[in-house]
């Protein structure tokens, strides 16, 4: 009964319901216009495969394991990249104003600070929220025991390229040479590329929050269309890195 419920659920909720809809449409069109029916079947197959966890894991794993987590963090400053925030009134903890990815990064940043006592630069503006992401993350770090004086909040950057450019200015003014770059593992290849392009000669990647693991056993549900897949996140990173590799000089020239 449990297995049947999971199968039904996978094809009733999006994106599984879209797969069903396309197959039904293909059946309806099979005698009227065969090419359209074939196109519907192809779209159904792409939607199914693309929304499975096994497919998304295959895309994500090369990104998440491009850089290993260092055994010992070494640098002049910890640079934490934000990944989203929200403005919720009357919260018990500042963590409630952080997106899941930002919270994962902030937890890791607090742990590294406890080990190293290095200053922290948090970078993230407010492109999609009322309160800058860096301020929200800084409030959480203070909650965990990090002194506010140890935190520099860069609150204007809207994307990773701007994170790198604006953090470079802060580091130049403070005399920070080597940075410990902390972000989600899936985001790290793009982040390292952009920080090196911004002029950082010494970057120690510190990837956190991996969602895949080599040799992980896959279950039946991982082959079903479902919301547990992170295909969109993987494609966003792959596409973003490809665009910056090709057009980075154009972005810089426009500023």
Cα gap 32→18, rounded to integer Å: 21
Model pLDDT, residue 227? 67
Provide the pLDDT confidence category of residue 217 given band limits of 50, 70 and 90: confident
Give the residue-averaged pLDDT of 216-230. 84
Give the residue-averaged pLDDT of 55-78. 95
Q: Where in the chain is the domain with CATH 3.40.50.620?
A: 70-211
Q: Is the pLDDT of residue 253 over 50?
A: no
Give the residue-averaged pLDDT of 163-172. 96
Q: Is the pLDDT of residue 255 over 80?
A: no
Architecture, CATH, for domain 70-211: 3-Layer(aba) Sandwich (3.40)
Model pLDDT, residue 94? 93
Q: Is the pLDDT of residue 129 over 90?
A: no
Q: Is the pLDDT of residue 241 over 80?
A: yes
Residue 125 DSSP label: -
pTM equals 0.89
Long-range contacts of 153-159 (CB under 8 A, 24+ apart): 153/122, 154/121, 154/122, 154/123, 154/124, 155/124, 155/125, 155/126, 156/125, 156/132, 157/123, 157/124, 157/125, 158/125, 158/127, 159/127
Model pLDDT, residue 157? 95
Phi, psi of 127 (to 5 degrees): -70, -30
Choose among 73, 85, 147: nearest CA to 116: 73
User: Which residues fall within 8 angstroms of residue 34, CB to CB, at 6 or more apart?
Assistant: none
Provide the pLDDT confidence category of residue 250 given band limits of 50, 70 and 90: low
Task: Calculate the alpha carbon distances from 189 to 26, 62, 166, 178 in Å.
Answer: 40, 10, 19, 18
Q: Is the pLDDT of residue 148 over 90?
A: yes
Q: Is the pLDDT of residue 76 over 60?
A: yes
Tell me what the pLDDT averaged over the chain comes to.
92
């Amino acid at each position: 009964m449990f297995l049947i419920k999971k199968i039904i659920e996978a094809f009733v909720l999006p994106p599984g319901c879209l797969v069903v809809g396309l197959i039904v449409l293909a059946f309806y069109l099979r005698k009227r216009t065969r090419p359209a029916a074939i196109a519907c079947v192809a779209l159904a197959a792409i939607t199914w495969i693309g929304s499975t966890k096994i497919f998304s894991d295959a895309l994500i794993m090369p990104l998440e394991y491009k850089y290993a987590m260092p055994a010992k963090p070494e640098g002049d400053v910890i640079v934490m990249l934000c990944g989203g925030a929200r403005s919720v009134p009357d919260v018990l903890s500042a963590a409630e104003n952080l997106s899941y990815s930002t919270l994962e990064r902030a937890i890791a940043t607090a742990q590294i600070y406890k080990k190293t006592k290095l200053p922290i630069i948090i970078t993230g503006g407010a492109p999609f929220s009322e309160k800058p992401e860096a301020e929200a993350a800084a409030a959480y770090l203070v909650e965990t025991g990090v002194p506010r004086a140890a935190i520099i909040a860069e609150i204007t950057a809207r994307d990773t390229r701007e994170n790198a450019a604006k953090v470079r200015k802060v580091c130049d003014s403070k005399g920070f040479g080597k940075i410990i770059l902390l972000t989600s593992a899936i985001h790290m290849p793009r982040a390292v590329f952009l920080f090196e392009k911004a002029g950082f000669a010494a970057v120690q990647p510190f990837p956190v929050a991996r969602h895949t693991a080599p040799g992980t056993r896959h279950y039946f549900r991982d082959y079903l269309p479902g919301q547990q897949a992170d295909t969109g996140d993987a494609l966003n990173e792959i596409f973003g890195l490809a665009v910056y590799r090709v057009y980075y000089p154009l972005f810089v020239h426009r500023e």
